[in-house]
Structure 1
Amino acid sequence: MDIKTFGLLAATALNLLQPLPVVADDAPPKSGNPVFDRAVELVVDNFHDASALPRFGATVIREIGSEPLNAASSEARVDKAIDRVLASLQASHTGRFEADTIAYFELADIFRFAIRNEMRRLFPPEGQASYPGIGMIAEPLTGALFVSDVYDGSPAARAGILTGDEILSVDGAPYHEIASFRDKVGRTIEIRLRRKASAEPIAVQVAVERLRPLRTFEKAIEASISVTERKGKRIGYVRLWTLSAPDGLDIVAREMADGRLKDVDGIIVDLRGRWGGGPSDAAELFVGDTPTFRLIPRNGEATLANVRWQRPVVGIIDSGARSGLELFAYALKVNGIPLVGSRTAGALLAGRAYLLPDDSLLEVAVSDAVIGDDVRLEGIGVEPDIPVAFTLPYAAGRDPQRDAAVQEMQRILAGG
């Protein structure tokens, strides 16, 4: 999994020139705006660190006092107010997500049990989160939009879109994560890209699909698996986009036990994911001491009961390794497995999702996370053993972090 913050309070225009009431730290005043007030209430009731609430409440009071906030306030005003008060908590796993973003749908699927009573209403008729898209994430940098992630096996990947491509337009209009593809499922759209600075744009035709987030991640994990041969050694690779996908780790385990990764000499585990989540012991797949074993009934069809990789491993990390993926990275590091790339996100808390009155999602950090007796990664992260920088704009699919991981694995397999 791996990752994005809230607010509280109120005053009307008639009250702005009057002293604001003194309110208890745990009960900020109401603004009259139902979305803002509910976000504040959920933070006060559920945020894991009570010592942060006075700062949170003070920020809410300042925010409401700076400009009228009430039931008639514009969406833009409410959005900014919520963002600023949430930011005052200075915590990961705390943010608001709206339905015009891919993150909204991915988190709705990840937190589907937390909002299970509303899933059919939100995603009729089956109640399964899905969105129209092509399997691509974009990041704004220096006034432009660049492709930061292309999910393996996705329509974007099949069309040849590369990490680092500048997005210029979709069907002649500005790019929007959801709106650009709405009502276009089953159709082919044209994306205009720039692969090199100042180069002429190129046009790419991409098929729009209805994507179910966790299933998309499972497919991406499976499609990422590859094997290359270097100097007589077979090096496997897999990218863990998230640990939240129900079958994600099982896909990797099956490939290591009986599939494409079975006979490789070493594996590169790419933790540059999208979301964390997943079991806290996920790294046991690569660092556990228990042996691999199968259950074989009378019909002879074996079932994998436990898989453990005992050959060399190299990990790749960056700020996409967050939450459960960050814990995974830490487990690799303390077990002597080299990590290549850049520092992880420093985002290791436990979050829970709530629906706000406008059906936006509010994620609140509800629990601290401590490794062993006193190790915390929140705000700190995991540092790589082999630092390798990555520059996104116009990368043209080049991946120096993965290249460095392959070099490190070659060194290990050569006995260096």
Structure 2
Amino acid sequence: MLSKIAGALLLLFLAALPTPAAELPQSGNPVFDRTVRLVVNSFYDRSALDRFEDAVRREIEDSRSPVTAASPAERVDTAIDAILASLQVSHTGRFRPDGIDYFELADVFRYALRADMRRLFPPDGEAAYAGIGMIVRQGNGLGFVSEVYDGSPAARAGILVGDEVMSVDGAPYREIISFRGKAGQTVEIKLRRRPGDQPLDKTVQVKLLRPLPMFEKAIEDSATIMERDGRKIGYIRLWTLAAPRSMNKVAEALARGPLEQADGLVLDLRGRWGGGSADAAELFLGGTPPFRLIQRDGEAILANVRWRRPVVAIIDEGTRSGLEVFAYALKAKGVRLVGARSAGALLAGRVFLLPDDSLLELAVSDAVIGDDTRLEGRGVQPDLPVPFILPYAAGRDPQRDAAVDEMRRILADG
């Protein structure tokens, strides 16, 4: 009798476990099937796997339908996107080498891909792509510049956020293909700045861009001082926390760079990727005093920088992951946040290489602030909401303008 009870309990226990990947229906496509196995084995939330498995079966059944307008490759891409979307979380998606995200993520997760980096990015194994340092957001058949990295060829050429990108060298814009093989050359980009205006032609130098060093340089190049009401307001954009020297660039700009004499600071957290240390905000919030080591020749080495003057931060849907922790910490200490709700994308992700060399980013751990605060799906709300309409913005930035005005008010109030 005891053995029968034990056997029944074992069956109940096994029934509660997720279905092993081997028991799931197989599509016969190695990329799709590998994606399914990785999700079942590594995704952080077991409760989502029933929904995921239903989506897998549905996509396999649909793929066997004799009526389809898509090519086999397009069908696989659509199917993978659909099963991953069924998980309904951040830090989960597939990225292919025809997009900038692929190269940036490969650099962010370079350690996880270390065994394959030389093969993926010959000859030195450094993730890099030919580009000009801008991101274009697609919508309604049009593409609009959503980010221009500070100090990039696009910035130097005068391309502005909100510009409609019409063509590159006479062909439709493609993130990677438009510039492939053209590093060291120039391209002709046709833009429209306002609806109905005549197109603008911009000649832009193409460079071989390494994402993390590029982000570090963009952070450094973004630092500037604005004179308002006889006061100096500093500005710097923290494009990512994932680059090794992201916070060092901010600290150097504050301690002995262009922002050293600022009376107040506008800190722009509208980034591309999160990452980084969970206590990065300590530069602005920490209680320990600034600390420097003075060398024999008088050179000072920064060991511990602390900013004690007023701060206003800008956030939006690009504020994600580690940058959301940063924004949450600032708000908890009374720092004013301006802009739009952050992404609500706070989980721990990992990247896996799929058989076709595309990348699968997968959420592998939950993330909790304090005892029970989760930002996943919720984000951080600004204290001062300011909308930003991208198309034909012509470089205007109402969120930054509002943050500067907020700092002016804080400085005037003393």
TM-score by length of 2: 0.93
For residue 201 of structure 1, what is the aligned residue in structure 2?
199
Report sequence identity in percent: 66
Indicate yes or no: 2:32 matched with 1:25.
no
- Separation in 2 of the partners of 1:178 and 1:291? 46
Answer yes or no: is the 8 Å Cα contact 2:94–2:360 preserved in 1: yes
1:58 and 1:24 map into 2 onto residues whose CA distance is: 12
Structure 1 residue aligned with 2:285: 287
Normalising by structure 1, what TM-score?
0.92
Q: Tell me the amino acid that sits aligned with residue 148 of structure 2.
A: V
Q: Does 2:258 align with 1:264?
A: no
| Other-structure match for 2:60 | 64
Query: Counterpart of 1:411 in structure 2: which amino acid?
Result: R
Query: What is the Cα deviation at residue 299 of structure 1?
Result: 4.4
Counterpart-to-counterpart distance in 2, 1:325 and 1:285: 14
Contact preservation (8 Å) 1:26, 1:54: no
Matched, 1:366 2:364: yes
Q: 2:333 aligns with which of 332, 335, 352?
A: 335
Verify the 8 A CA contact 2:185 2:206 in the aligned structure 1.
Answer: yes
Aligned to 1:54: 50
Aligned to 2:248: 250
Shift of 1:24: 6.1
Aligned to 1:119: 117
The correspondence of residues 142-291 of structure 1 with structure 2, limited to 5 A, is 142-291=140-289
Change (3 A) 1:24 1:236: closer
Residue of structure 2 in register with 1:8 after alignment: none
| 1:239 partner letter | R
Residue 228 of structure 2 aligns with an amino acid whose one-letter code is R
Which residue does the alignment assign to 2:10? none
Q: 1:30 corresponds to which letter in structure 2?
A: Q
- Structure 1 counterpart of 2:318, which letter? G
Cα offset for 1:140?
A: 1.0
AA partner of residue 322 (structure 1): R
- Letter of the 2:36 counterpart: V
User: How far off is 1:123 after superposition?
Assistant: 0.5
Paired AA for residue 220 in structure 1: A
What amino acid does structure 2 have at the position aligned with 1:365? A
Partner of 1:138: 136
Q: Which residue of 1 aligns with 2:13?
A: none
Higher RCO structure (Cα 8 Å, ≥6 apart): 1
Give distance in 2, aligned partners of 1:282 and 1:126: 31
Residues 1:390 and 2:380 are matched in the alignment: no
The separation in 2 between residues aligned to 1:295 and 1:41, in whole angstroms, is 52
In 2: Cα distance, 1:241 partner to 1:202 partner: 28
| RMSD, aligned α-carbons | 1.3
CA shift digits 1:278-317 (9 cap, x unpaired) = 1111111111111110123444432111001011000000
Give, in angstroms, the shift of residue 183 of structure 1. Answer: 1.1
Query: Would the aligned equivalents of 1:293 and 1:306 in 2 still touch at CA under 8 Å?
Result: yes
Which stretches in structure 2 are left out of the alignment for 5+ residues? Answer: 1-16, 66-70
Which of residues 30, 33, 37 is equivalent to 1:37? 33
Distance (Å, rounded) in 1 between the aligned partners of 2:307 and 2:175:
38
Native 8 Å contact 1:276 1:322 kept in 2? yes
Q: Which letter does structure 1 place at the counterpart of 2:108?
A: I
The count of residues paired between Structure 1 and Structure 2 equals 391
1:35-90 Cα distance to aligned partner (Å, 9 max, x none): 00111111111111011111101110011111229xxx821111000000000000
1:314-353 counterparts in 2 under 5 A? 314-353=312-351
Preserved CA contact (<8 Å) 1:26 1:53: no
Give the Cα separation in 1 of the matches to 2:138 and 2:218.
23
Flag structure 1 segments of 5+ consecutive residues without an equivalent: 1-22
Q: Distance in 1 between matches of 2:188 and 2:213?
A: 25
